Amino acid sequence: MDKATSIKKVFISTHPFGEISTEPLDLLEAEGISYKLNPYGRKITTQELATQIIDCDALIAGTEIIDASVFENAPDLKLISRVGIGLDGVDFDLAKMRNVKVAFTPDAPTVAVAELCMGLILDCLRRITATDRHLREGKWHRHMGGLLYGKTVGIIGLGRIGKTLVHLLQPFNVNILANDIDPDMAFGHMMGIEWVDKDSLLENSDVVSLNIPLTESTFHLIDDNALKKMRSTAVLINTARGPVVDELALLSALEEGMIAGAAIDVFENEPYDGPLSQCESVVLTCHMGASTRESRQRMELEATEEIIRYNCNEKLKNEVLF
């Protein structure tokens, strides 16, 4: 490969990286590619990223915002390889203008996120976290929860994660409603799914799970009007992207008893320290959908392999076309 188009140095902004397995770092070293790791031990800010990436021509990225300041400080940037599936942090217009390729790892986190969805559904319905919290406070209170078995689960977004969640739900004999901009009719038919519009899904579901990307059309998709359509006994699960839910509207809905509960893994601003933290009827987790050893190891490896493919002038496996 022409030296002008090869990758010589990578900045790895996502954290942690290489802790479960050093294989991704070993691959870079074997290819003769040097690297810098995120030095902050936490999610990097855009300003910090812009400072760190100056002399690098590839980025192994996390969920941070990659905006004009980053691109301007990295004139030799050729490839952004995202550890994970969400791409809302990347300015694709700038990437296209600067001829920067973008890749991601869409399959690696699928099962982990779907399993977290499943766990949060059961947690909300059975009030597991609330009971644990009360017990530690010296309160012996057996919360009266509800069954998942036989209920109606509405899934907004039936892509990789949504479909995996459907499979995980099968032993619970649930009725599944789904809404998607590009419905997979064959999968729906095979799994007995009923395709409905968003309002019908919200009105008729005992559980609503959000499994959609963040786009202009999904920003605050779940707002005050959407929450008013949900059943008072229903629970909302968001393991997708924080801005899909209007957090203040959700807080009001929970406080007013418009819905019974919620579980939120992702937030508009992370780390989260907002008022939902004081709400008893919501389970909060810290963007940990893909945080299993197996998933993390695979994501890191696949993101690194895209760097190697680029350097060997091979076709990228999961390039984002824009």
pLDDT digits (tens, 9 = 90+) for 63-92: 999 999 999 999 999 999 999 998 999 999
pLDDT at 219 over 50: yes
Give the percent of the chain with pLDDT over 70: 98
pLDDT band, very low/low/confident/very high, at 3 (cuts 50, 70, 90): very low
pLDDT in tens, 9-44: 999 999 999 999 999 999 999 999 999 999 999 999
Q: Scanning the structure block, which residue is given the tokens 């990347």?
A: 90
Q: In what order do the strands lie in the sheet with 152-156?
A: 194-195, 175-179, 152-156, 207-210, 235-238, 261-264, 282-284
Cite the DSSP H helix spans in 192-260.
Answer: 198-204, 224-229, 247-255
**Distance, CA of 153 to CA of 235 (rounded, Å):** 10
C-alpha to C-alpha distances, 25 to 58, 142, 177, 280, nearest whole angstrom: 14, 49, 43, 43
Give the percent of the chain with pLDDT over 90: 97
pLDDT in the model for residue 86: 86
pLDDT band, very low/low/confident/very high, at 145 (cuts 50, 70, 90): very high
pLDDT in the model for residue 322: 81
Question: Which residues lie across from 208 on neighbouring strands?
Answer: 154, 236
pLDDT in the model for residue 153: 98
Would strands 34-37 and 9-12 be described as parallel, antiparallel, or unpaired?
parallel
pLDDT band, very low/low/confident/very high, at 1 (cuts 50, 70, 90): very low
Answer for the pair 285, 291: CB distance below 8 angstroms, yes or no. Answer: no
Question: Which residues lie across from 76 on neighbouring strands?
Answer: none
pLDDT in tens, 163-195: 999 999 999 999 999 999 999 999 999 999 999
C-alpha to C-alpha distances, 100 to 17, 140, 252, 269, nearest whole angstrom: 23, 57, 42, 27
DSSP letter at 90 equals B
User: Region 225-231: what's the mean pLDDT?
Assistant: 98
* Domains of the chain, CATH where assigned: 3-108+292-311 (3.40.50.720), 110-284 (3.40.50.720)
Catalytic residues, which ones? 241, 270, 287
pLDDT in the model for residue 4: 54
Name the strand (E) or helix (H) holding 120. helix 110-126
Supply φ then ψ for residue 131, to 5 degrees: -65, -45
C-alpha to C-alpha distances, 301 to 15, 20, 33, 104, 293, nearest whole angstrom: 14, 11, 15, 11, 12
pLDDT at 148 over 80: yes
